[in-house]
Amino acid sequence: MRSSVATFLQQVINGLSLGSVYALIAVGYSLVYSILLFSNFAHGGFLVIGGYICYVALKTMGLNIWMASLLSLVGAGIAAVLTERIAYKPIRERTNVTLYLLIASMGMSIVIENIFVIVAGGRFRALPPVIPTHPVQIFNIATTSAFDLLSFVVALVALGCLQLFLSRTKWGLAIRAAACDLRTAGLMGVNVNLLIAIVFFTAGALAAIGGIFLSVRYTLYPQLGVITIKAFVAAVIGGLGSLPGAVVGSLILGLAEMLAAGFISSQMRDLVVFSLLVITLLIKPTGLFGKQMSEKI
């Protein structure tokens, strides 16, 4: 049936655009995991920080969207580095127990969210409509909004830049080395602390891009960061620590969510997400692209 195909295509487009936003968040997540081997649950906080900086820059400072975004990326990046310095570095230096880092990251995520609740108030804010949202037709079958196309393109560009950074620059090489083995990289002369700071800055900046898009699309509020749990699932499905995996996982997740919402029921959406997580872990815990390493005796 013609309309069925159209509906399907529409849901696919919806899914891809959602997935591209997830990808921005999941990649930052995976980047941190690949170096420090822990899930930074405070990642959602960087997203919210990015969103609020952009809002303030647009509304009260009256900057244009490019300046506001730049400010937001830098701000979130700095916040990420600060988080690392305050909460993770002291723990990281005393012990290599990742459980402590994890709980500390949960704590930081709660702290960041509630700082915004207190300072900005629990009310949600709408960003000024600086990003176009008018509908766009695709091959006359499906409709999407200019916004979705834009977010998809921006995500591609950002991830492309990241890929260039990792493969073509000296620090990119250092990061890839550290992802293999942090200690050895340190022994080979890499300044580990500076490396970690760069990684967190990058993760924060990526999260900020995601935050800007999410707040324009869905309004800005302190709990916006909870979407990070879905990005986390995407990263696991793609394989923790693998950046291409994070992207693929995100797209799969976005598609799965939209198709489930469209063809089964919208309430089942999150259930599908977490079921995918459990299934992935039961079948292939290291995900699609994760490295398979067995426990050494």
For β-strands 142-145 and 135-138, DSSP reports them as antiparallel
CB nearer to other proteins: give 74 or 177. 177
- Give whichever of 125 and 176 is closer to other proteins, judged by the CB atom: 125
CB of 167 to other proteins, least distance (A): 21
Give the Å distances, CA to CA, from 47 to 54, 128, 224, 231, 243.
11, 18, 8, 12, 19
Q: Could you give the maximum distance between any two Cα atoms of the chain, in Å?
A: 63
Q: How far is the CB of 66 from other proteins (least distance, A)?
A: 22
Q: Which is nearer to other proteins, 169 or 220 (CB)?
A: 220
Smaller CB separation from other proteins, 139 or 170: 139
How many Cβ atoms are within 10 Å of 229's Cβ, its own excluded?
16
Q: How far is the CB of 279 from other proteins (least distance, A)?
A: 9
Distance CA 35, CA 65 (A): 32
Q: What is the DSSP letter of 220?
A: B
Q: What is the nearest approach in angstroms of other proteins to the Cβ of residue 110?
A: 3
Strand pairing partners for 135?
145
